[in-house]
């Protein structure tokens, strides 16, 4: 049997790896507006997409960017945009529309210091709660976080797969350090990448009910131009997409909107563990901070401290089923974040006092170093 040669070895920064992941997942449309520190994604997409019969368009602003991404997805094309904090704020209304209309798309937010213009060239993790609750109304959302250049590739592929599988926008959070760290990675062969496409209707057009419930909670999605007609609106709607104020129809629709996520939590939620089996002191981290945490945990072990790491890949829905058993085995947990304490609030909520939770926060645009985490672990 002939041994398959290794995949392409490339020296990429995180933003470039996100582009490679998007293309591998089947993305063929990108619309965006330049913004630090996400601009390299737009730049790379502008010349990579036409080479694979895709389309790139620079829009006048971030509001329009997500609007045309939604339109392209409705037309059957896997679509993405990328931005940073100020642009992500502008996208919130259209993000809510995509949630309500159940339009799959991927939004990359490369986080930087804020609020407002803040620290455009410096790192932050200040958009974690905005990613969950930024758009108004009661809605489920899937939010993933990348920590390495390799993660940028694999997590982007996963973001597209989850978006298509569950007919929902998926947010990928990177940060300035992850986005601009350049590392050698080996890209897999295309046939080695799992690619999931949305389920299309297989019934005659006259029988098609666009928002009909089923066991998965995810109705098939037709493509405009294929002869299937349905109404798309941001209003609460019935199974055919037309606005409704009937209580029974509203309750059924909103229930399904949440159920399609909650009944698939085991598929959606993802973490990585390192040395957690006997950990007495636990670190829970995500993004670039998890790299510092991994180094600190290993050095703590060398000093005799039973430390372990949980790296959060899925941030929302919070992976409680995976985190809680590990958290309750530990005596104390440290949550280092480049904000004033956003994810630590969720961890304290699920701990319910069973495990002491400590925080390590930094908001000056600089990294939390392995040494800072190690010092706290030894003290704890």
- Residue position matching structure tokens 């666009």: 210
pLDDT tens digits for range 213-235: 999 999 999 998 889 988 999 99
Rg (C-alpha) for the chain, rounded Å, is 21
- Residue position matching structure tokens 């758009």: 135
Residue 368 domain-assigned (yes or no): yes
For residue 127, give the CATH number of its domain.
3.40.50.970
Burial 179-198 (b: 16+ CB within 10 A, else e): bbbeeebebbeeeebeebeb
The DSSP 8-state label assigned to residue 112 in this structure reads E
d(CA 314, CA 268) in angstroms, rounded, equals 7
pTM for the model: 0.96
What pLDDT sits at residue 378? 94
Q: Nearest-CA neighbor of 315 among 350, 268, 358? A: 268
Range of the domain at 108: 8-192
The DSSP 8-state label assigned to residue 52 in this structure reads G
For 47, the token pair is 């010349």
Kindly state whether residues 164 and 51 are assigned to the same domain: yes
> In whole angstroms, what separates CA 198 from the centre of its chain?
18
Residue 122 domain-assigned (yes or no): yes
Whether 335 and 287 have beta carbons less than 8 Å apart is answered as: no
- Res 78 pLDDT > 60: yes
Domain boundary (192, 222, 255) is at: 192
**Measured CA distances, 346 to 124, 317, 351, 354, 372 (Å):** 18, 11, 9, 14, 23
Residue 49 domain-assigned (yes or no): yes
What pLDDT sits at residue 230? 87
What pLDDT sits at residue 113? 97
- Res 380 pLDDT > 70: yes
Residues constituting the chain: 380
**What are phi and psi for residue 250, nearest 5 degrees?**
-65, -45
What pLDDT sits at residue 203? 93
Kindly state whether residues 285 and 185 are assigned to the same domain: no
- Res 3 pLDDT > 70: no
What pLDDT sits at residue 4? 59
Domain boundary (192, 214, 246) is at: 192
What pLDDT sits at residue 256? 97
Kindly state whether residues 20 and 164 are assigned to the same domain: yes
d(CA 142, CA 35) in angstroms, rounded, equals 23
User: What is the number of domains present in the chain?
Assistant: 2
Q: Nearest-CA neighbor of 274 among 296, 294, 302? A: 294
Q: Nearest-CA neighbor of 239 among 217, 218, 211, 201? A: 211
What pLDDT sits at residue 225? 85
Kindly state whether residues 162 and 280 are assigned to the same domain: no
Residue 348 domain-assigned (yes or no): yes
The DSSP element (H or E) to which 70 belongs, if any, is helix 62-74
For residue 372, give the CATH number of its domain.
3.40.50.920
pLDDT tens digits for range 316-326: 999 999 999 99
Residue 260 domain-assigned (yes or no): no
Whole-number average pLDDT of the chain: 96
d(CA 183, CA 217) in angstroms, rounded, equals 40
What pLDDT sits at residue 5? 61
């Amino acid at each position: 049997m002939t041994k398959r040669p290794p995949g392409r070895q490339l020296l990429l920064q995180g933003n470039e790896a996100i582009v490679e992941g998007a293309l591998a997942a089947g993305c063929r449309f990108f619309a965006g507006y330049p913004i630090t520190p996400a601009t390299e994604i737009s730049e790379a997409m502008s010349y990579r997409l036409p080479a694979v019969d895709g389309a790139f368009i620079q829009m006048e602003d971030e509001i329009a960017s997500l609007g045309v991404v939604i339109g392209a997805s409705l037309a059957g094309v896997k679509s993405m945009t990328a931005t940073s904090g100020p642009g992500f704020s502008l996208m919130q209304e259209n993000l809510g529309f995509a949630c309500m209309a159940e339009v799959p798309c991927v939004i990359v937010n490369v986080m930087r210091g804020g609020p407002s213009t803040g620290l455009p060239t410096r790192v932050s993790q200040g958009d974690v709660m905005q990613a969950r609750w930024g758009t108004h109304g009661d809605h489920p959302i899937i939010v993933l976080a990348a920590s390495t250049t390799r993660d940028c590739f694999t997590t982007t592929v996963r973001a597209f797969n989850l978006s298509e599988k569950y007919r929902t926008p998926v947010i990928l959070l990177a940060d300035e350090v992850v986005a601009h760290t350049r590392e050698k990675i080996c890209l897999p062969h295309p046939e080695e990448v799992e690619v999931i496409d949305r389920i299309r209707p297989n019934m005659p057009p006259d029988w098609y009910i666009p928002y009909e419930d089923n066991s998965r909670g995810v109705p098939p999605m037709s493509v405009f131009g294929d002869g299937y007609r349905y109404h798309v609106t941001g209003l609460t709607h019935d199974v055919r997409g037309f606005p409704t104020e009937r209580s029974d129809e509203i309750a059924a629709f909103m229930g399904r909107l949440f159920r399609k996520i909650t009944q698939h939590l085991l598929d959606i939620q993802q973490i990585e563990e390192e040395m957690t089996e006997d950990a007495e002191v636990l670190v829970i981290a995500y993004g670039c901070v998890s790299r510092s945490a991994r180094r600190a945990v290993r050095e703590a072990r060398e000093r005799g401290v039973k430390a372990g790491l949980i790296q959060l890949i899925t941030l929302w829905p919070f992976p409680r089923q995976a985190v809680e058993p590990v958290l309750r085995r530990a005596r104390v947990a440290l949550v280092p974040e480049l904000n004033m304490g956003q994810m630590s609030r969720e961890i304290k909520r699920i701990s319910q006092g069973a495990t002491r939770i400590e925080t390590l926060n930094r908001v000056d645009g600089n990294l939390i170093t392995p040494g800072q985490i190690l010092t706290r672990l030894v003290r704890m």
